[in-house]
Amino acid sequence: MRVVFLGLPGAGKGTQARLLAEALGIPQVSTGDMLRQAQADGTPLGQQAREYVESGRLVPDDLVLGLIEERLRNRDTDGGFILDGFPRTEDQAKGLDGILGRLGVALDRVVLIELDAAVLAERLGKRRSCPACGAVYHLDSKPPARAGICDECGERLVERPDDQPERIRRRIEVFKAETAPLEAYYDRRGLLARVAGDGEIGDVQSAIRAAVGRAG
Ligand code: AMP
């Protein structure tokens, strides 16, 4: 199954994509995680991306498309993948169509997780993430068992530099200007499913499973 997750920053894309990927036994491909990893590794791509990521602006399309094409050529995506945080512009969506065409595959579903902007800002302010394994927590609704420590790998949790209020505002603006048009792009092709993102994590996951035809 090949699925794209769309949604404002903080809508729960990462958390939900991870759960669905585990349930289906296919990789979660997050461009945000890949870019943060490239920064941590100090690769040339990471250095090029840093100023964009930290300020909440989009990394140029050609960089992201190169990264995605390389990732989707890896054999572990042969049985499917969940794209989380990509595509984010119409040019990226067109670029993705080209990549999938060259690989001889097609998308099955695009899931849009909908959430009110006020809820998002609150969620992002209380988000903590693991720089080592990418696990995501929320101080109130999904706290780690030991304060400040990742349940999965024991690493110290961090607050993302782009989760500060003024950068959150910029990311929401960027989404509305650049990413929101993708809703119509995929709706025209009958691929779009809208899911309400304001419930419990498990309930949202059930709605997503139903939307991708893998309920139960
Ligand atoms: P995320 O973890 O998905 O919220 O992404 C964090 C940041 O990484 C974004 O604010 C962008 O700076 C960058 N980024 C992630 N995915 C993309 C993408 N598909 N296109 C451009 N920039 C991206």
- Which residues lie below 8 Å from residue 193, measured CB to CB, with a gap of 6+? 109, 110, 111, 112, 211, 212
Q: Is the CB of 86 under 6 A from ligand 1?
A: yes
Give distance in angstroms: CA of 114 to centre of ligand 1. 18
Residue with the smallest CA separation from ligand 1 atom 6 is 32
Q: Is the CB of 162 under 6 A from ligand 1?
A: yes
**Exposed/middle/buried for 143, CB within 10 Å: 0-12, 13-18, 19+?**
middle
pLDDT in tens, 8-64: 988 999 999 999 999 999 999 999 999 999 999 999 999 999 999 988 899 999 999
SS3 111: strand
CA distance 52 to 200: 32
SS3 142: strand
pTM here is 0.89
> Which residues, in sequence order, are bridge partners of residue 82?
3, 28
- Which residues lie below 8 Å from residue 170, measured CB to CB, with a gap of 6+? 55, 56, 57
SS3 59: coil
Q: Is 152 in contact with 31 (CB distance < 8 Å)?
A: no
pLDDT in tens, 85-138: 999 999 999 999 999 999 999 999 999 999 988 888 888 889 999 988 889 999
Counting ligand 1 atoms within 8 A of each CB, the residue from 58, 68, 115, 182 with the most, and so the one to mutate, is 58
Q: Is 63 in contact with 48 (CB distance < 8 Å)?
A: yes
Give distance in angstroms: CA of 216 to centre of ligand 1. 31
